[in-house]
C-alpha cells in the first residue's frame, strides 16, 4: 500500500464530504446522531467481539494494565457512548449563527456568520471512545473528520466507524464525512498533518511526546493540549476553610487528570498558621509535599523541591509548594512555571482577585473554585474534544464552537467603494 | 554578532514587556499613542533624512521604481501616519472585556475575558508605514511587538522606532514593548518564527514567497494573507445595473489590490444578454478578458482562458470569465479556485443569496456589494494589521480583536467538584 496515495484519497474524500456537511440541515445532522446511538446499541455484540480481539492482542504484545484498561469496552461503556451521542444531538447547532450585523456609513451591512472549519484530523492513542466522541462533535459542527487511533484499538475503531457510517447513511449524509485511517503505518500520521489542501486543523489527543511530534511536523494548524501544571494560590486574604477545601479537591479528588493541582503557592503572611493545616490534610491523603526552604521550615514532612519540581505535571500523589510574598509574586511565578492550563486564587480580597484574573496568562483563571472545574461539561459546552493550552483560536475546553470559524458577511444593495 | 543570541535577547525582553503591557491601563496606552503621534510630527525632519538615505541606497542598488515608491516618505505621508496613530487611540480598548458570564449548576460562574496575545512578530517588506501601523495596533491591544522590516527601509524604520520608544517612555510604559530588529541578516527571520517561548504569533506582510517561506519554517502560529483571487458571480436573478456597477468597481477601481475581482462568473440564463455589456464596459477600461469557450463565443474580444487563469491573482488589467449553470455551480467553482479571500454574488433572489452566503467558504462573502469593501476600515474595525485568508483564529480583516485572545474565567464562592 502506498500510504501517501491512501492518505490523499482519504483527504480528498473528506474535503468533498465537508462541503455536504457544511450545508446539511440541523435536522439531518441530528438524525444521523440518533441513528449512530441506535447503531452502537444494536451492534453492541460486534463491538464487544472486535474489542475482545484488540484486548487479546494487546495482552500478547505485553501492553501495561493501565493501557489495557483504557482500551477495554464493556456493555456499560458502550451504553455511555450511545448516551453521549444523544447528548450531542441535544446541543444547539452552532452553524449559521449570524452576529454583530451592523450598518456601515457606505450603506453595506457587515456581520459574522459561524461556519464549520472544514476537515478535522484527530490523532489519538488507545481509548476507542474517542472515536465516537470526536466523530460526533465534528459531525454536529458540520465538519468532516479523519480519525487516526492507536494501532492497538484498530479493530474496535473500525467497528465503531461502521456504526457511524450506518448513522450517516440513514440520515442521507455522505459516509465519507467520518473516515477511520485503516493502516497502522506510522507514516500515515506524517501525511495527515501535512495536507493543508485537504485538512484544516489537527487535534492530537494523547501523551506529550505524541503532541510534540505532531506540532513539529504539522503544516496545518494544531489545537494542542500540552501539560496541565495547575496552581492554587492561597492569598493572605484567603478564607482558611475555602483554602483547605479547594486545595484538597484540586489536588486529591483525582490525581491523574490534567486539571488537578500540581503546585501550591501561599502568601507569607498566612503561611505560618495555614500551611501546616493544609500540609496535614495533604499528608493524610498520602500526598508528598516538595517545598521551597520556607515550606520545609514550616512543614516537617516536606522534602526540598528542585527547580524542576515547579515545572512538573506529576499526575500523581505529589505537590510542589512555595511561599510567596503576595499576589504579584504569585502571578509572576505562575506566568513563569505554569503550563497555562488552569490556575486559581483563594482570596476574599477584591483587588487581589481582579488582578489575578486579569494578569494570569492561562486558559482558565479561577477565583475561589477548584481547578477541577476546568472541563467542557462543567463549563456548559455540553461536550469537549480536548482542552487547548494554546492562545490561538480555541483556548481551554474546546467544544462545538472551537470546531467552527466565523467568516464575514456583507449584505449590500448594490453599493460600490468610492 | 551572534544572530540567534541577539534574537533571543529581543524575544526575552519582549516577553517581559508583554506582561507590563497586559496590565497597562487604557489611559496609559492612549497616552503613549498620542505621544507617538506627537513625536512623529516633531521628528519629521529626522524621519525624512533617514528615509532619503534609504531611498538613495535603494536607487544605487537598482531597486524598481515601484519599490522605491513604496519606500519613500513625505511630509504628507508622515502626517497621515500621525493621524492614523491618533485614530487608533480613539478605538475602544478590547482588553479586559468579559462576556458570556453564566452561572452553572455547580454554583460557579463561567465566562470569557478578552486578553492580549502576548508577543507579536511582524515581518514585512519595504513600506516603512507598516512599522508604525503594526506597532500601535499591537500596543493598543496590550501586546509587545518585534518588528522585522525590509533591509532597504532599515534607516526609516529605526527613526520611526525611536518615535515609538519616545511615546512609550512618555507614558511610563516599557520601551521594549516595541522593538525593531536592527540586523538585516536573513537568519534573523528564521529565529523570530521559531521561538515559541518568546513569540506568540507571527504576522507576515508581503509577497507570496515571503509568506510561504514563513509558513514553512514557523514553529509558532502565523496569521497569513496569501492570494486574493476574488470572484463576482452574476446570478440569473441579478439586477443588470447592479451587476455592471459592482463588476466595474470590483475590477477597475484599483487594479493592484488584494480585494479587486480577478474572476467573473455569470449564469448561463443571462450571459447572452448581460455578458456582452459587462465585457464592453471592461474593455472600455482596458481590461483583457480571458474566458471559457462560452464566454469567447459571446464576447469577440475575449481570449481563451487556461486552467491556470482561473487560479490567478492578476493584480493587473486582466479578468478571467466563466459561464456557469447556476448558483450551485458558481459555489463549486469558487470553493475550488478561489483563494478564500472575498467572493460576491449579484442577485435579487433570496434563496440564491442565502445559499451563496452559507456555502462559499471564504473569509468574506458578499451579496450585492463590491469585493473592494473587504477592508478593516470599511468593516468598522478602525484599522487592520492585515487580511487573513486562514480559517483559524482571525479570518478576513484583522483589527484589534484579532490581536487578542479570550481566556476562561471562573468566579466561585469556594465550590469544589463532586
pLDDT in tens, A162-221: 999 999 999 999 999 999 999 989 899 999 999 999 999 999 988 888 888 898 888 888
Distance (Å, whole) CA B287 – CA B262:
11
Q: To the nearest whole angstrom, how far is the Cα of A412 from the nearest Cα of chain B?
A: 5
Give chain A positions within 8 Å (CB) of B22. 358-359, 361
Chain B residue nearest residue A115, CA to CA: B358
Task: Please write down the HEC assignment for all residues of B162-208.
Answer: HHHHHHHHHCCCCHHHEEECCCCCCHHHHHHCCCCCCCCEEEEECCH
How many angstroms away from the CA of B248 is the closest CA of chain A? 9
Would you call A364 an interface residue with chain B, using a CB distance cutoff of 8 Å?
A: yes
| Cβ-nearest to B409 among A201, A357, A361 | A357
pTM of the model: 0.91
Q: CB neighbours of B136 closer than 8 A, spacing ≥ 6?
A: B33, B36, B84, B85, B88, B164
Q: For residue A357, give the nearest of B113, B221, B380 by CB distance.
A: B113
Could you report the per-residue pLDDT of A26-65, keeping only the tens digit for each? Answer: 999 999 999 999 999 999 999 999 999 999 999 999 988 8
Nearest by CB to A393, which of B96, B359, B393? B393
- Residue of A380, A302, A113, A219 lying closest to B107 (CA atoms): A380
What's the angle, vertex CA B86, arms to CA B80 and CA B90, rounded to 5? 140
What torsion do the CA atoms of B373, B375, B379, B385 make, to the nearest 10 degrees?
180
The answer to whether A295 touches A265, Cβ cutoff 8 Å, is no
Pairing of strands B396-398, B386-388: antiparallel
Distance in angstroms (rounded) separating the CA atoms of residues A81 and A38: 11
Distances (CA, A) of B18 to A273, A358, A397, B141, B173: 36, 13, 25, 11, 10
Name the residue among B220, B202, B199, B201 with its Cα closest to residue B211.
B202
B326-385 pLDDT, tens digit per residue, is 999 999 999 999 999 999 999 999 999 999 999 999 999 999 999 999 999 899 988 888
Query: Helix A154-170 vs helix A44-60: angle between axes, to the nearest 10 degrees?
Result: 160
What's the confidence (pLDDT) of residue A17?
98
pLDDT at A207: 81
- A32 vs B: CB within 8 A: no
Strand, coil or helix: B142: coil
Strand order in the sheet with A109-116: A98-103, A109-116, A404-415, B364-369, B342-346, B230-234, B261-267, B318-324, B288-291, B303-304
Give bridge partners of residue A290 from the DSSP assignment.
A303, A320
> Which residues of chain A neighbour B248 with C-beta distances below 8 Å?
416
Please report the pLDDT score of residue A226 as a whole number: 76
Smallest Cβ–Cβ distance between B379 and the set A201, A253, A408 belongs to A408
Taking the C-alpha atoms of residue B310 and residue B332, their distance in angstroms, rounded to an integer, is 13
Round the average pLDDT of chain B to a whole number and report it.
95
Å between A405 CA and nearest CA of chain B? 6
**ipTM reported for the complex, 2 dp:** 0.92
For residues B208 and A162, which has the higher predicted lDDT (pLDDT)? A162
pLDDT tens, A387-410?
898 888 889 999 999 999 999 999
> For the residues B11-29, what does the mean pLDDT come to?
97
Contact A253 B417 (CB under 8 A): yes
Grid cell listed for B249:
468597481
Q: How many residues can be counted in chain B? A: 418
**Which pLDDT does position A329 carry in this prediction?**
98
Q: Which residue of A has its CA nearest to B362?
A: A407
Which residues lie below 8 Å from residue B82, measured CB to CB, with a gap of 6+? B37, B38, B40, B41
Option in B19, B117, B417 nearest A335 (CB): B19
Residue B135 has pLDDT above 90, yes or no: yes
The Cα–Cα gap between A390 and A222 comes to 9
CA of A58 vs chain B CAs: smallest distance (Å): 34
Neighboring chain B residues of A417 at a CB cutoff of 8 Å: 249, 253, 370, 372-373, 378
In chain B, which among 179-218 make CB contacts under 8 A with chain A?
A: 200-201, 215-216
- Give B-chain residues touching A96 at CB under 8 angstroms: 358
DSSP E strands, A341-395? 342-346, 364-369, 386-388
Residue of A238, A63, A226, A54 whose CA lies nearest to A149: A54
Chain A (55-114) residues lying within 8 Å, Cβ to Cβ, of chain B: 96, 102, 104, 106, 108, 110, 113
Which residues is A112 bridged to in the sheet? A99, A408
The answer to whether A414 contacts B239, with C-beta atoms less than 8 Å apart, is yes
Report CB contact under 8 Å: A369, B239. no
SS3 content of chain A, % helix, strand, coil (to 5): 45, 20, 35
pLDDT of B140 strictly over 80: yes
Residue B130: all three cell numbers together: 507598516
pLDDT of A224 > 90? The answer is no
Contacts across the A-B interface (CB distance below 8 Å): 224
pLDDT band at A235 (very low <50, low <70, confident <90, very high): very high
Å from B115 to nearest chain A CA?
8
**Residue B209, pLDDT score:** 85
B22–A241: do the CB atoms touch at under 8 Å?
A: no
From chain B residues 109-138, the ones with a CB under 8 A of any chain A CB are: 110, 113, 115, 117-118
Q: Which residues of B touch A241 (CB under 8 A)?
A: 414
Give the whole-angstrom CA distance, residue A272 versus residue A294: 10
Query: In angstroms, what separates the C-alpha of B348 from chain A's closest C-alpha?
Result: 9
Residue B389: name the closest of B254, B222, B275, B273 by CA: B222
Strands B109-116 and A178-180, sheet pairing: unpaired
Helix (H) or strand (E) holding B372: none
CA distance B133 to B151: 18
Element (H, E) at A363: none
CA angle B62, B66, B68 (to 5 degrees): 55
Kindly report, residue by residue over A351-390, the tens digit of the pLDDT.
Answer: 999 999 999 999 999 999 999 999 998 999 888 888 898 8
d(CA B319, CA B359): 24
**Contact yes or no for B104 and A248 at CB 8 A:** no
Select from B88, B98, B116, B89 the least CA-distant residue to B402. B116
Determine the 3-state secondary structure of A383 from DSSP.
Answer: coil
- From the list B215, B332, B411, which residue is nearest A367 (CB)? B411
**A412 with B372: Cβ contact below 8 A:** no
Give me the pLDDT at residue A184, please.
Answer: 87
Closest of B173, B172, B185, B187 to residue B144, by C-alpha:
B173
Q: Assess whether pLDDT exceeds 90 at residue B205.
A: no
Q: What is the rounded distance in angstroms from the CA atom of residue A163 to the CA atom of residue A150?
A: 19
Q: For residue B174, give the nearest of B289, B302, B19 by alpha carbon.
A: B19
pLDDT of B392 strictly over 90: no
Pairing state between β A201-205 and A288-291: unpaired
DSSP lists the bridge partners of residue B266 as: B234, B323
What backbone phi and psi angles, to 5 degrees, belong to A181?
A: -65, 120
State the pLDDT confidence band at A93, using cuts at 50, 70 and 90: very high
Could B416 and A374 be called an inter-chain contact, meaning their C-beta atoms sit closer than 8 Å? no
The pLDDT of residue A126 is above 80: no
Instruction: Determine contact, residues A236/A273, Cβ cutoff 8 Å.
Output: no
- Averaged pLDDT score across all residues of chain A: 95
CB B361 to CB A115 under 8 A? yes
Burial class (CB in 10 A: 0-12, 13-18, 19+), A266: buried
pLDDT of residue A76: 96
Amino acid at each position: 500500500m502506498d500510504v501517501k496515495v491512501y492518505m490523499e484519497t482519504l483527504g480528498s474524500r473528506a474535503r468533498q464530504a465537508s462541503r455536504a456537511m457544511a450545508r446539511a440541515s440541523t435536522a439531518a445532522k441530528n438524525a444521523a446522531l440518533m441513528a449512530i446511538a441506535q447503531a452502537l446499541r444494536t451492534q453492541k455484540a460486534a463491538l464487544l467481539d472486535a474489542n475482545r480481539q484488540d484486548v487479546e492482542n494487546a495482552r500478547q504484545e505485553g501492553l501495561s494494565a493501565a493501557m489495557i484498561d483504557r482500551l477495554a469496552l464493556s456493555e456499560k461503556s458502550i451504553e455511555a457512548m450511545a448516551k453521549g451521542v444523544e447528548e450531542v444531538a441535544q446541543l444547539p447547532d452552532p452553524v449559521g449563527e449570524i452576529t454583530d450585523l451592523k450598518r456601515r456609513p457606505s450603506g453595506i451591512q457587515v456581520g459574522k456568520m459561524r461556519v464549520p472549519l472544514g476537515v478535522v484530523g484527530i490523532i489519538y492513542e488507545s481509548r476507542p471512545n474517542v472515536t465516537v466522541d470526536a466523530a460526533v462533535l465534528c459531525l454536529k459542527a458540520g465538519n468532516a473528520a479523519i480519525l487516526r487511533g492507536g494501532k492497538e484499538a484498530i479493530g474496535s475503531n473500525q467497528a465503531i466507524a461502521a456504526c457511524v457510517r450506518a448513522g450517516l447513511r440513514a440520515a442521507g449524509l455522505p459516509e465519507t464525512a467520518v473516515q477511520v485511517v485503516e493502516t497502522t503505518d506510522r507514516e500515515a500520521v506524517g501525511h495527515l498533518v501535512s495536507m493543508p489542501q485537504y485538512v484544516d486543523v489537527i487535534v492530537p489527543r494523547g501523551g506529550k511526546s505524541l503532541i510534540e511530534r505532531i506540532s513539529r511536523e504539522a503544516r496545518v494548524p494544531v489545537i494542542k493540549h500540552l501539560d496541565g501544571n495547575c496552581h492554587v494560590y492561597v492569598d493572605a486574604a484567603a478564607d482558611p476553610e475555602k483554602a483547605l477545601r479547594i486545595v484538597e479537591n484540586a489536588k486529591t479528588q483525582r490525581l491523574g487528570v490534567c486539571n488537578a493541582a500540581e503546585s501550591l503557592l501561599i502568601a507569607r503572611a498566612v503561611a505560618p498558621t495555614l500551611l501546616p493545616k493544609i500540609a496535614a490534610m495533604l499528608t493524610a491523603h498520602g500526598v508528598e509535599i516538595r517545598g521551597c526552604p520556607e515550606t520545609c521550615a514550616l512543614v516537617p514532612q516536606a522534602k526540598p523541591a528542585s527547580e524542576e519540581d515547579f515545572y512538573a505535571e506529576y499526575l500523581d500523589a505529589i505537590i510542589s509548594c512555595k511561599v510567596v510574598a503576595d499576589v504579584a509574586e504569585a502571578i509572576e511565578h505562575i506566568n513563569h512555571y505554569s503550563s497555562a492550563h488552569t490556575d486559581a486564587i483563594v482570596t476574599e480580597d477584591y483587588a487581589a482577585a481582579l488582578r489575578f484574573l486579569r494578569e494570569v496568562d492561562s486558559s482558565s483563571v479561577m477565583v475561589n473554585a477548584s481547578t477541577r472545574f476546568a472541563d467542557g461539561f462543567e463549563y456548559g459546552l455540553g461536550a469537549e474534544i480536548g482542552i487547548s493550552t494554546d492562545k490561538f483560536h480555541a483556548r481551554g475546553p474546546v467544544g462545538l464552537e472551537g470546531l467552527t470559524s466565523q467568516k464575514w458577511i456583507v449584505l449590500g444593495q448594490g453599493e460600490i467603494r468610492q
